[in-house]
Amino acid sequence: MAIHLKYFERSNGDILLPPSDDTPCPSDCIAREANTLTEVDALQRRLQQATYARCQRELQRDEEAFAAAREDVRSRLTSRIASSATSEYEREFLRSYIQLREEKRDKYRARFTCDTAYLELRENDKPRNVEELLKESL
């Protein structure tokens, strides 16, 4: 069975996968085709790298956008904890809230890392040695 994976490539290196083989090539793209497993694997690596880079940019942008707001909330809560008008119960609640926010941020950051790890599944699914390749012990 021959491989005919059609895709479009922009001059900046962006790759577009058409929904069907008869989809016309956009005017700002060059029509390309991957015909071997090696070419398909190379295309997959490029797509993975592009996806990983995009996800990293999104994470960085989100971190920068919300950093000031997070620090403002943290500052106001810290001031409230230091206030003599705040009860001990309220102080303990606010400390716990600040700690929970930090733990959640770490959890979401770990989830982001886990999601991007799925990009590596195909590479990890390849046989690592002759026994796995033959599916029997030597």
In the chain the first and final C-alpha atoms are separated, in Å, by 31
Point out which residues pair with 16 in neighbouring strands: 8
Q: What is the mean pLDDT of residues 103-124?
A: 68
Q: How far is CA 70 from the centre of its chain?
A: 22
Query: What residue segments make up the domains of the chain, in order of their start?
Result: 36-123
Instruction: Identify the residue with better confidence: 134 or 86.
Output: 86
Residue-wise pLDDT tens digits, 33-68: 999 888 988 998 898 888 888 888 888 888 888 888
| Angle at alpha carbon of residue 134, lines to 131 and 136, rounded to 5° | 60
Strand-pair partners of 9: 15, 30
Instruction: Tell me the average pLDDT across 60-86.
Output: 89
